Each structure stands twice: as C-alpha cells, then as structure tokens.
Amino acid sequence: MKKQILKTRWMVALLLGFCSYAWAADKKAPIGGGRVETVADANADEVKASVVSADTLTAQGEKLLAAYTAQLEALKKELSAAVPTVDAQKKAAFIGSHAAVEAVPPQPNPMKLKCGPPQYAPSHKLYAIVQSNALITATPLLTDVDKFLASDKLDTKLAKCALLSEATPRGLALFAQQANEQESLIAELLGDDALIKQVMELGGCYQGKYGQAMQIYKAIQKAAPSAKEGFFKTFALASAMEHPDGCVTKEGMTPAEVMVETFLDYEKAYRDGLLDKAFGTYTDFNWRFVMYCSTVEDMNWMRTMLRNYRPDHIVNTNMQWRYCEIVKSDVPYTSCVARPVRPDLNLTRFQDYFLEGGICGPRCFVGKLSTAAFGIPTRGARQTGHAAMCRWTPTGWTTVFGAHWTYNSHRDICGLDFSLEERARSAVDEYRKVLRAEWVGQALGEKKVSRRQFGIGGDLWSALGFYKKLAIIEKARIAEMAATGAELAESNEPAESPASDWVPSKAPVAAPPRFPVIEMTEADKTIVFGKDGVITIPPAACTSPESTDKIKFMRTADNTGVQVHYALAGQRPELLKYTFELPADGKYELVAKVCTVTVDRKAMLRVNRRTLLDLPLPYTKGMWEDTKPVVLDLTAGRNTIMFTAEVPNKGVSIKSFTLKPVK
C-alpha cells in the first residue's frame, strides 16, 4: 500500500512538474462543455447570492445587525475553541494534494466539440489520478477527526453558526427590519434549535434567503394543517428552502401565495390518489425537488391529459421513463417551429409544444412537467447549447434527454457535485459527518469547495467534507445511474462527446418487453348490444387486440377497461377491424370517444369493404370527447368496420365506438 501511494504521488509530481507554468497561467475550467469561470468568480457569486435586494439598513436594522453579528461571533469563538487540532504534517500533505487538483490542465478539444472534454471530472484521466491522490492524503486526517465528526454534541451550535454565516447578519437584518412580522419570523427561526438543525441538514436555503423561506413555510403551515407533521411538514419546509422567491411568478400573487397554492394542489392530488406511489417515501433531501417551476394549472392539465391519453406511461415499470416517456412518444424533435403554432386557439405553452414538437427546450420542459406533476423530484440539467432534465428514481437520480452528469449544471451546482451529494446522502449516519465538517469550516470562516467546479477550491474542513463524500460512495460502492435517453438529446448530433472516455459505472436498466401484453377480461373484448338498439364496441373487441408499433392497447387509468392508442410511431398505417352481426338492415350513427393532443387530424372508416368514410378527429386538449356522428349503412348479418388514422397522424386514444340506430 505504501509503495502504491509513493508511486501515485511520484506520477502526479512528474505530471505537474512538466506543466506547472501553463497550469498556473490558466485556472479556468469549462462548465457544461463551454462556459468558463474561476474559483474566485464562484466564490464571488456565492457572496452575491446572499445579498437581499433592499440594501439599506434603517436604525432598527442596525440594531438587529449588531444583535445577529454578536450571536455569530460568539458561536464562532466557542466553536473554534472546540475544534480539534490536526496533525500539521498530514494537513500540509493534504492541502498540497488538494491544491494540485485545481492545477490539472484542460484537455485538448481540437474538434471544438460542443460538449468538449471536461477539465474537472473523473473522465479526465489526470484529474482522476490527482483527485485519487488527494483522497489518499485526506484519509489519515478523516480518521483522526472521525470521533469528533461522529459526535452530535455540537450539532445545535454548529448548525446555527452555519445558518448565520450563510444568511449573513446583514441579510437577516435587511429582512427583519421590514416589519414586526418579519422580525418575529427571524426571532422564531433563531430560537428554534430543532428547526435550524433540520433546515441545515436539508442543505440550507437557496441564496441564503432564510427570512423569505420562513415566510413561505409559515404561510403553508397556516393554510394546511397537514404541513405541521409527518412528510408533509418536511415537504413544506424543503420547498420553502428551495424556492424562497416562489416556484413560479403569477400576476397578482405573492411568492408565499403561489407556494401555498402549489402545496395545496399537491396535497389534494395525493389525497385523490393522483400522484406516484413513491410520494411520501422520499428522504428529506429529495423533498426539495418535488415542487418544481410549474403552475398548478399546467400540472393539473398534465395529470389529466396523461391519464386519458397515455395511461401506459403512468404505470411504466421502468421508473427512469415513467411519465416523461410522453416526450419520446408525442413531442418529436422538430426545429424552426414558430410559436405559438396556433395563436387562434389560445393554448398554454405546454399544449402548444404537442402540436408540432420542438427542439431540446420544449422537450425538456414537457419532461420536467410530466414528472413534477405526479410528485416525482425533478431538476433541470442545463448543458452547453442544450436543455436536459434529471429526475429521482428509487435507485438514484438520472439525467434524462442529455449527456452524462459531467456536462450539466443547475442553479450553479454542477451535475457531478449533485450526483455525488445525492449518493453520499444515502449513507445517512456517515453523511452527518460531511455536514459537521462543512459546518466547522463555516464556523472557522473558511472558503467553501466550489459547487460549480467539481472538487475545486475550499479550505481544510470544507475540503475534508468533500473528500468524505468521495470516501462514502467508494466504501459503500454507491454507483451513479447512467444517463437515460442520451441518444435523444439531439436528433442530429451525438449526445456525448466522442472524445470522452467516460464509461457508465452502471449498466442502464433493461428495457421492458417492446410490446407488453396487458390483461384483458371477456368484458373488455365483448361488443354490447343494448335494448334500445345502441351498440357499444370496446377497442379490444377487434380481431387482433395485440400491440404493435402503431397500435397500443392499455388499461384505462382507473383500470375499469381497455383503451387503444393509435400512436405517432411507425411508418405504415394499421387497421383496427371490428366484426358483428345485425338482425336487419339499417342506418347507424357512429361516434368514437377519443382523446387527442394535436389539431387538424382525421381517421378513415371502411365499412363492409366497400364504403370509405372520413371521421374528423376533434382537438380535445387531452380530454375525452365524442367525434361528430357519421352515418353508416349496415346490413343484416355480418358487418365489418375498419378504422385507421390518416397520415400524417399525431396520435389518438380511443375509449369506445358507439353505433346508434337512426330512426
């Protein structure tokens, strides 16, 4: 082992020695394949993020500033004295090897690829070697301070000190000086040790806006008694921490009112059984990402539309594709689409996306809405020149419609950093040690490890927290999930750089059978002849109720029957053929109960092999509607009706065909 360590250090020293001048001259790194910023830039942005918009203190604000500052300084003094002293030689070795990671040079990009070879990522071989060496030198220090980090004795003070540091006394004073209500909210927060600890264990507040988050949290609890206990309480708190300015902007509503409306919508959807079965089972951290940037109107439309139009996407056993597979099936990659496609229809932007599809943005937006609407934790995954998403699954988070974590970021957190955190958090007790190391760093006034450049920058305790996360996933062998649908990132370019040597650490989840067979009862396949002469034909009563590229049979969302979906996929039209017997000749009005998400479409009927009739399909916006009646001349004895959607079809779901005698 000792020889291996020496050999690794020798390799690193040799590589650094050859390139030291060039590396020192340029410490910029690509983010998401093209953006560049320095560690100093990242630290500056973190400072700016904590500043509240109103920046002038009143006389009362000055008093509050003094009080909050006194609390912070007292905690820093007490905690500094309690932090164990580390071995100077081990510290020097670790600090040197950690600094070497930042000095790793960028990889060449001669082809000028959009997703160019990364600088700070494990797929960069030199970076991986240098970071591994830093982890080796961090291990003795982590062992020395393990007993200290394993103790919860200082948690209350450490968490409070971290909160005051992130919020800043000035930021809290600017919020609290607005009115007695705001001042009381800050007093309530700073006086509740249990709440402070929970907040900081959740990951703190976005942009340090703790006052605004408290305002939202208390508003939700006032409006919803459920938010005072259990997982709904965690959901309310985590949502307020992630969206202190509100999840969306709605005219005439405050951020708190918007968040209350969204929370109540999720609560009702949960009570009505409309959310995913996993809702209510998430770990605390994942609750931050349930409430995404969508209005309740858009979410309710998506829930209803998907249950009507493609219920198979809701019950998809491949959790990586559940809900967001609607993008694959019904939002094709098309460029140069003028928005809105049909201004005369006054559609929402999501309804508009289904008319003609779009490039990565519209597809990503639909994917995020489809998962968030059903209560699945969802985040953005911005990449250079490309929009993707990432989502929770029971086995971890995955990027969807985009490249590997290496190439994405969201809210100034690079994909690699988020993936590392969410995996390390699965080892709950060990992750508490990470939090304590980070809190100690804040108590000592240290610089943080950058969250925009993977593992770069930061002083002793902050850096130890980062390497503790690496140690956790390495020891527990917590693998990352491979990207989902990376081949669909763009239709005309590879989703991943061909120059990258990245190999998924875990094979993709095996795809389910291409055309799954659903259970059908005899009632599902039986044509019903009513006493009034009305004939009801269920979709599964056709001659061959088996799914193909084009025709897919599926259980209805309420599981009361079977519906058929005539899909966008497949090049050739296919037929649905229905055969039945009549006692006498007669005229019948045929009506189909259909659900569509596109406009100006029609189907064709062929009756008894000789009569061709058009059946216009209404634009139903994802709801169920009847087609306008079409009169058929039917004969005594055997009759056949064949249905096919005319090209170019864009998808239609059918719940039933009804034949009503014309008197």
pLDDT digits (tens, 9 = 90+) for 445-491: 999 999 999 999 999 999 999 999 999 999 999 999 989 988 766 53
Beta-sheet strands, E only, within 394-498: 396-400, 409-410, 413-414
Beta-sheet strands, E only, within 190-334: none
Residues 6+ apart with CB under 8 A from 348: 297, 298, 301
Which amino acid does the sequence have at 232?
F
Largest separation between any pair of C-alpha atoms in the chain? 100
pLDDT of residue 37: 33
* Distance between CA atoms of residues 101 and 466, nearest Å: 13
Q: Six-digit token pair at 199?
A: 């907040």
Distance of CA 563 to the CA centre of its chain: 30
pLDDT less than 50: residues of the chain: 1-53, 491-507
Q: For residue 152, with 0-12 CB atoms within 10 Å meaning exposed, 13-18 middle and 19 or more buried, which class applies?
A: exposed
* Distance between CA atoms of residues 427 and 419, nearest Å: 14
Residues 6+ apart with CB under 8 A from 487: 495
pLDDT of residue 46: 38
517-557 pLDDT, tens digit per residue, is 889 999 999 999 998 999 999 999 999 999 988 899 999 99
Residues 6+ apart with CB under 8 A from 528: 535, 536, 538
- Which structural domains are found in the chain, ordered by start? 291-374+377-411+482-512 (no CATH), 523-661 (2.60.120.260)
State the CB neighbour count (10 A cutoff) for residue 129: 17
Query: Is the distance from CB of 235 to CB of 263 less than 8 angstroms?
Result: yes
pLDDT of residue 54: 59
- What values do phi and psi take at 33, rounded to 5? 90, 5
Per-residue CA distances from 190 to 158, 234, 348 (Å): 13, 18, 43
* Distance between CA atoms of residues 626 and 478, nearest Å: 51
Q: Six-digit token pair at 654?
A: 């059918």
**CA neighbor of 405 nearest in space, from 394, 385, 391, 395:** 391
Beta-sheet strands, E only, within 431-568: 528-529, 535-537, 551-555, 562-566
Report the predicted TM-score, pTM, of the whole model to 2 decimal places.
Answer: 0.87
* Distance between CA atoms of residues 114 and 552, nearest Å: 38
Distance of CA 95 to the CA centre of its chain: 35
* Distance between CA atoms of residues 299 and 528, nearest Å: 36
Distance of CA 125 to the CA centre of its chain: 29
Residue with tokens 């209510």: 280
